[in-house]
Amino acid sequence: MSHSEQNTAESVTTQTEQGLYVNPQALTAHLPALHYRDGALHMEQVNVDELVKHYDTPCYVYSKQAILAVYQAYTESFASLPHQICYAVKANSNLAVLGILAQAGAGFDIVSRGELMRVLAAGGEASRVVFSGVGKTYSEIEYALTQGIGCFNVESISELTLINDVAKALDKSAPISLRVNPDVDAKTHPYISTGLKDNKFGIAHEDALAVYQQAANLSHIDIVGIDCHIGSQLTEVEPFVAALDKVVELVHSLRDKGIELRHIDLGGGLGVRYIDETPVSIDEFAQALLPKLTELGLTIFFEPGRSIVANAGVLLTRVDVLKPTEHKNFAIVDAAMNDLIRPALYQAEMAVIPSVLPENGLNTDDTQAWDIVGAICETGDFLAKDRLLSLATGDTLAITGAGAYGFTMSSNYNSRPRASEVMVADDRHQLIRKRETFEGLYADEMLWQDK
Ligand SMILES: Cc1ncc(COP(=O)(O)O)c(C=O)c1O
């Protein structure tokens, strides 16, 4: 096919009968970490094919500047109020990522002891950490209290009483906020929507006041805030505003009852542009929320994950096998659903672009529709479907937007060692996680002993 007439201007995508064409140059124009120089894809000043020579594939690569730029955008947009940006560790928990954010002054949002240990190992301060999650265990609470955690975001009455019990046993006072479920539709994928009545998260808005009063009567609980997180990859500001209105209403009711808070935590959830979505910018987000926040006189917390790291990262992968069939063309690459599960789990559409632009230009007639798939024994093992690309075996492809919920959701399914991770800053690159070894995959296992 010829798409010459369809790719006028710099539109990022062109949908044809055969498939979706993602224009690599137009796409990278929206991604500050990436650009093509002389036809070769670079992250910051580093040629990605040079990275492939050094580190092989599959390999996650993150741009230090891109991570810090988004973090700074948050702090600048909310500079008029006291605030704390608690980066959501689950999005990307590599120590190097946590380390640069800790150095920049970030707090952290964690959901397990493992994540707290990572934050501390990376130089973060426990007092700037909020502990979210519906199922904190006795030992996790004990560990967090001992380390001096900033706040527990409490999701149920039973958790509240457990935290009180642990704090009592340690003779400490536990700082808490209640995670309120405002019953607001985040208008995102159902698996990453968390603020509806049907979701397992938080304490129902109508019950919150009573639970706060219960908390106020517990001997070892210190009420410090209120929290809400309605979902992830939100592209509109309205659901955030609707949730904030409900939380503000509660702050006032609490004041009337003599319960004074120190902070309001609005969670994470701001969406990113993966291909051609148009999420609200951090500045627009701030402009919509600030007028309602200013009057409260509280410190504002956010827990952004995806928006800080998604577009700072790519997954580099090599085309191993081209398998055209009568109905479909499959490009089998050396990354798979175990490395990047978002397409299989959420039907997420991620851009796949070549490390080198085709010599004869972008609109070549040898472009065909390919399913980019892994070598795993599952039909759900795909990274992208029906993408118009010009491919040869040995090519390097970059899956963009892979900095968030990429490596952290990866597994060893099919006994595949997980990818290496690399960080780039200006013209420097550094390994920040070694590729796993085959021996390492079973190093903690034991053969059954008959006697
Ligand atoms: C409680 C909580 N806070 C923050 C986040 C981060 O969300 P996002 O990565 O969309 O910013 C999540 C993600 O699911 C979450 O559950």
Predicted pLDDT at 188: 76
397 CA distance to ligand 1 middle (Å): 28
Q: Is the CB of 367 under 6 A from ligand 1?
A: no
Q: How many degrees, rounded to 5, is the angle at CA 152 between CA 115 and CA 404?
A: 35
Euclidean distance between the first and the last CA atom of the chain, given in angstroms as a whole number: 67
Contact 430, 423 (CB under 8 A): yes
Q: Which strand (E) or helix (H) includes residue 67?
A: helix 64-77
Best residue for ligand 1 mutational test, from 303, 308, 342, 345 (most atoms within 8 Å of Cβ): 303
267 CA distance to ligand 1 middle (Å): 6
Give the other-Cβ count within 10 Å of 143's Cβ.
17
Name which of 222, 225, 224, 229 is nearest 201 in CA terms. Answer: 229
Q: Is 86 among the catalytic positions?
A: no
Predicted pLDDT at 362: 66
d(CA 297, CA 240): 19
Per-position b or e across 266-295, b if 16+ CB within 10 A of its CB: bbbbbbbbbbeeebbebeebbeebeeebee
Best residue for ligand 1 mutational test, from 229, 274, 342 (most atoms within 8 Å of Cβ): 229
The phi-psi region of residue 389 (left if phi > 0; otherwise alpha if psi is between -120 and 50; otherwise beta) is beta
Q: How far is CA 147 from CA 106, 113, 353, in A?
A: 17, 11, 44
Place of tokens 């062109």: 14
Query: What are the backbone dihedrals phi and psi of residue 107, each rounded to the nearest 5 degrees, phi first?
Result: -95, -175
3-state secondary structure of 217: coil
Q: Parallel, antiparallel, or unpaired for β 396-400 and 352-354?
A: antiparallel
3-state secondary structure of 353: strand
Atom number of ligand 1 nearest to Cα 111: 1
392 CA distance to ligand 1 middle (Å): 38
Contact 51, 422 (CB under 8 A): yes
d(CA 147, CA 370): 51
What letter would DSSP give residue 410?
-
What letter would DSSP give residue 442?
T
Query: What are the backbone dihedrals phi and psi of residue 130, each rounded to the nearest 5 degrees, phi first?
Result: -110, 140
Residue 441 exposed, middle or buried by CB count within 10 Å (0-12, 13-18, 19+)? middle
Q: Is the CB of 63 under 6 A from ligand 1?
A: no
Q: Which two tokens stand for residue 36?
A: 């093509």
Q: Which strand (E) or helix (H) includes residue 267?
A: none
Place of tokens 């759900």: 380
Write out the chain's pLDDT in tens, 451 residues: 334 334 444 789 999 999 999 999 999 999 999 999 999 999 999 999 999 999 999 999 999 999 999 999 999 999 999 999 999 999 999 999 999 999 999 999 999 999 999 999 999 999 999 999 999 999 999 999 999 999 999 999 999 999 999 999 999 999 999 999 988 887 777 776 776 676 778 899 999 999 999 999 999 999 999 999 999 999 999 999 999 999 999 999 999 999 999 999 999 999 999 999 999 999 999 999 999 999 999 999 999 999 999 999 999 999 999 999 999 999 999 999 999 999 999 999 999 999 999 877 666 567 899 999 999 999 999 999 999 999 999 999 999 999 999 999 999 999 999 999 999 999 999 999 999 999 999 999 999 999 8
Contact 126, 144 (CB under 8 A): yes
Q: How far is CA 129 from CA 64, 111, 173, 383, in A?
A: 22, 10, 16, 34
